[in-house]
Amino acid sequence: MRPRKELYQRNFAAANVLLQIAMKFATVRNVSSPSRPIRLAAEDKLAALRRIDKSRSWNCLDERLYCTICKHEISGRQIEVVGGTNGLRALHLKCSTAGCLSTPDDWILPVKLDTVREIDILFRDNGG
């Protein structure tokens, strides 16, 4: 029969290994799901949109964009500001559609069908 002390140490070592594995998994999980949307007040979100997406003026959060990746129209309100813990430079914008990996470069101003028709009519009138 083994001395009690040795048995205790073995159990302790096993528990320690399990703990290390658990810690490892916890770390990996944190890495694989990197950034969660940041809850921002309307003003702060607008400021974040202006700062991160410099290709647009962003006058208000109700401005809508068409995401060419998921084919959905999204408004500034729906766009998610996500970022890590590395400070403001790590912030980026995300389409609100789950699983859509588009960037602001993939967003265009939505063209309303009415506008297309008007342009079409104008073109025909001018062309005679």
Site residues, Zn ion (CB under 5 A)? 67, 69-70, 95, 97, 100, 102
What's the Rg (C-alpha) of the chain? 26
Q: Write down the least CB distance from residue 67 to Zn ion, Å.
A: 3
Strands (E), the chain: 64-67, 72-75, 80-82, 92-94, 107-108
CB 91 within 8 Å of CB 41: no
CB 73 within 8 Å of CB 97: no
Residue (47 or 100) nearer to Zn ion, CB: 100
Residue (6 or 105) nearer to Zn ion, CB: 105
Q: Write down the least CB distance from residue 77 to Zn ion, Å.
A: 15
| Residue closest to 84 by CA, chosen among 37, 28, 49, 27 | 37
Q: Write down the least CB distance from residue 102 to Zn ion, Å.
A: 4
Residue (102 or 104) nearer to Zn ion, CB: 102
What token pair was written down for 23?
Answer: 């810690």
Q: Write down the least CB distance from residue 124 to Zn ion, Å.
A: 34
